[in-house]
Every structure is written in C-alpha cells, then in structure tokens.
C-alpha cells in the first residue's frame, strides 16, 4: 500500500490530472456560484476578478482609463498594468466559462511545470510539493487570481538561471512584474549568477518591449497616460490597506501602526542580510533557499496580500521543507503552516474559530513569518556542500 501511494505521488500524469480537475471544478463553481451584492444592491458575478481582467481589454482598445471605476460591469478597480490587460485579450475572445477555465489552467500548469523542472529534486519530492500547496492553489483558482502564475514564473526563472539562460529568465521575471509589481523581488536571484551586466541589459530590453506591447492597439500618449494612472492608483492603494501581511500582524497583535515603507525597508534589509556570504553563491541549496525566501517575502511584506496570495508563500514553505533537515523544529514549523496557513480558513475548523480567531488575528501570516525567519537563519549558517551532507536527493 505504501509503495502504491508513493508511486501515485511520484507519477506526473496523476498529479497533472489532479491539477486539471482542480481547475475545472474551481472554474465551474465560480461560474455557477451565487452572485455577490454590494452597496446600492448591484448584482455581480461570483467570478468578479476574472470579469475585471476580461473587461480591461475592452477598456484598453476603446482608449478608456483602465483604472477608473466601472460599477456597471464589475465591483472593485483594475489594479494591473496595461500590458497585462493586453495579454488578457487572448482570454476575452472566449465565452466566460471557457476563458475562465483557460485562465485558471494557465495559472495551475505554469506552477506545476515550474515545480517539475526544479533540478535535484526526486519525482516524489516534486509530487509532494504540488500536493502540499494544492489547498492554497484551489483558493487562488476560486478567486481567479494570478498568484499561481507569479509563483510559476519565478520558479521557472530560477530553473532557467540554473541552465545559464539569463535572457529568458529575465523575460519571466519582468513579465511577473508586469502582472504584479512585487515580482521585481525575483531580480535578487541574479546576484547568484554570472553575467550580471548582461542581465541588466536583458531586463531593460524586456521592460521596454513588454511596456510597449499596448501600442499595438493604442497610441503612445494614451499608453503613457495609462501608466501614470497605474502608478497613481498604486500610491493611493498603498495608503489604505495592510492585507494579510507583517504590517497587519503588527497592528492586530500589538496595535503597532508603523509606516509601511519603514516596515518594507526593514524587510528588505533582513532579506538581504544573508547575501554577504558571497562564497555560498554557487551552492544550489543556498540559491534554492533564496528562492523560498523570495516567494515568502512577496506575501509577507505585501500590503495587499489576501488569502489567495498565499499560494506563493506556501510554495516557498514547501520547497524549503523538502530540502530542509527533518528535525523537530522544521517539522513543527511546517505543521503549523499547514494547519494555520492552509487549513484555518477552510471548513476543517469551525466557523466561530475562522471568524473570531483566524481572521482577526491573521493566523495565516504567523507560521509563514516564522518559517521565513528560519530560512534567513538557515542561509546564515549553511555550510558548503563539501562540509556537510547534501540534503536533496538526486533526481
């Protein structure tokens, strides 16, 4: 029985089929789900986020402001770049159910194949990572979010850097930033690899190319206006939210309302602290832990982090756990993350616990924060592979 279970988890086709099922079920549930009502009694679809993305392409080609309110179409603002709006034109040509399913499929499969292309992991370890993050993935899919896509792009960029392909790695990181600005944190990976000046040039190249893609349907002046509007929206958005972040934890647990920029700056300094260990830059485990740190940091210090954002954080947690020593501390931290980050918002816990404890005290954040600090510690004390036993299995 044990061998059969291991065989199933190690079977790529089984995990792929499972992910496709997740996509189809989550998409169909969103499509037929109950509508939501907001101020004024306006009725919206249950897949409101997808509608926001889809409608943005129509606004783009009609030379409208992407960042204005369109309450007749959807609730909330569009908060992505004009380039992402252009990209979403592909999905807008399909009926909602098909487009929604394809969008969720893209998010799930980019992440799945990103994990499967990670070097030096066994098939069992890769399958376990994908199973361990599946709860958070479904949450992201049910909200039609782009977080699975971001996680997959960052992992793929790491894989490409390992294969000495910085040109394509920079494309994926720049693309992730054009989807969500926090993707720029992925550029930290380039510190560990040669050809840094080439990477800078490639990054500028892709930034310009992707930034100009909307010119296929609009003129330059309108594109500039849209990016100005986008930046203005980001500045205003930054001032009114703390999300599921370190900032929200500080406010709810200690009533500390510290300037967000100072908290983010402190987070950047902590994040960069282990990077002084230049002699470790060629160590695969060191770079892999840095990838985990990036995936966690993007959520922990994001003032707009929501429950669906935690597919990024839990992917970082799962990668860290697979390569870590299986001691009491590491196992305990992982169990805490699985229980309180992944399971606490679900029906596994009673409603009163979710509403009165888990949400108000942002329990999703705490285990991820502890694991991120543990990753920083691991990065600080890690020895060269010649000085200690290798942790990862060879695939």
The pLDDT value given to residue 389: 42
Q: Please count the other Cβ atoms lying within 10 Å of the Cβ belonging to residue 131.
A: 14
Closest by CA to 250, choosing from 262, 240, 258, is 258
- Over residues 88-119, the pLDDT tens digits come to 999 999 999 999 999 999 999 999 999 999 99
395 residues of the chain, pLDDT tens digit each = 788 999 999 999 999 999 999 999 999 999 987 666 665 667 788 899 999 999 999 999 999 999 999 988 888 899 999 999 999 999 999 999 999 999 999 999 999 999 999 999 999 999 999 999 999 999 999 999 999 999 999 999 999 999 999 999 999 999 999 999 999 999 999 999 998 999 999 999 999 999 999 999 999 999 999 999 999 888 877 666 677 899 999 999 998 888 888 999 999 999 999 999 999 999 999 999 999 999 999 999 998 888 899 999 999 999 999 999 999 999 999 999 999 999 988 888 888 898 889 888 999 999 999 999 999 999 999 988 754 444 444 43
Give, in order, the Cα–Cα distances in Å from 257 to each of 228, 248, 305, 361, 385: 29, 9, 17, 15, 43
- pLDDT for 66: 95
Write down the pLDDT at residue 392: 41
Q: What is the pTM of this model?
A: 0.93
User: Cβ atoms within 10 A of the Cβ of 358, count?
Assistant: 18
Task: Measure CA of the first residue to CA of the last residue in the chain; give whole Å.
Answer: 23
CA distance 169 to 157: 4
Q: What are the tens digits of pLDDT across the range 282-317?
A: 999 999 999 999 999 999 999 888 889 999 999 999
Place of tokens 């470790």: 280
Q: Is the CB of residue 244 less than 8 Å from the CB of residue 306? A: yes
Q: Where are the domains of the chain?
A: 2-381
> According to the model, what pLDDT value does residue 341 have?
94
pLDDT of residue 349: 87
Burial (CB count <10 Å: 0-12, 13-18, 19+), residue 252: middle
């Amino acid at each position: 029985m044990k061998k059969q279970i291991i065989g199933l988890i190690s079977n790529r086709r089984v995990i792929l089929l499972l992910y496709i099922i997740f996509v189809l079920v989550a998409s169909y549930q969103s499509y037929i789900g109950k509508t939501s009502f907001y101020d004024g009694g306006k009725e919206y679809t249950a897949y409101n986020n997808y509608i926001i993305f889809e409608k943005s392409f129509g606004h783009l080609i009609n030379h409208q402001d992407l960042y204005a309110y369109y309450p007749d179409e959807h609730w909330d603002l569009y908060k992505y770049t004009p380039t992402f709006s252009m990209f979403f034109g592909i999905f807008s040509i399909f009926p909602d159910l098909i487009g929604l399913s394809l969008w969720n499929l893209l998010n799930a499969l980019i992440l799945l194949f990103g994990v499967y292309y990670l070097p030096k992991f066994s098939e069992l370890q890769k399958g376990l990572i994908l199973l361990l993050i599946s709860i958070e993935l479904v949450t992201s899919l049910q909200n039609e979010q782009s977080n699975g896509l971001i996680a997959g792009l960052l992992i793929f960029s790491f894989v490409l850097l390992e294969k000495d392909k910085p040109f394509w790695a920079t494309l994926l990181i720049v693309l992730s930033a054009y989807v969500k600005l926090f993707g720029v944190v992925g550029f930290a990976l380039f510190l560990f690899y040669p050809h840094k000046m080439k990477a800078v040039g490639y990054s500028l190249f892709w930034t310009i190319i992707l930034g100009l893609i909307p010119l296929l349907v609009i003129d330059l002046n309108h594109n500039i206006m849209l990016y100005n509007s986008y930046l203005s929206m980001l500045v205003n958005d930054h001032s009114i939210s703390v999300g599921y972040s370190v900032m929200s934890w500080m406010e709810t647990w200690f009533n500390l309302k510290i300037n967000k920029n100072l908290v983010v700056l402190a987070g950047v300094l902590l994040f960069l602290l282990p990077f002084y260990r230049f002699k470790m830059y060629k160590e695969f485990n060191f770079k892999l832990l840095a990838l985990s740190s990036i995936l966690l940091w993007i959520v922990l210090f994001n003032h707009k982090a929501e429950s669906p954002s935690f597919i990024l954080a839990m992917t970082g947690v799962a990668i860290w756990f697979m390569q870590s020593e299986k001691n009491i501390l590491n196992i305990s931290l992982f169990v805490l993350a699985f229980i309180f980050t992944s399971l606490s918002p679900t029906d596994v816990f009673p409603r009163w616990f979710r509403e009165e404890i888990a949400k108000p005290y942002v329990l999703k954040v705490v285990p991820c924060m502890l694991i991120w600090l543990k990753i920083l510690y691991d990065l600080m004390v890690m020895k060269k592979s010649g000085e200690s036993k290798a942790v990862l299995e060879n695939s």
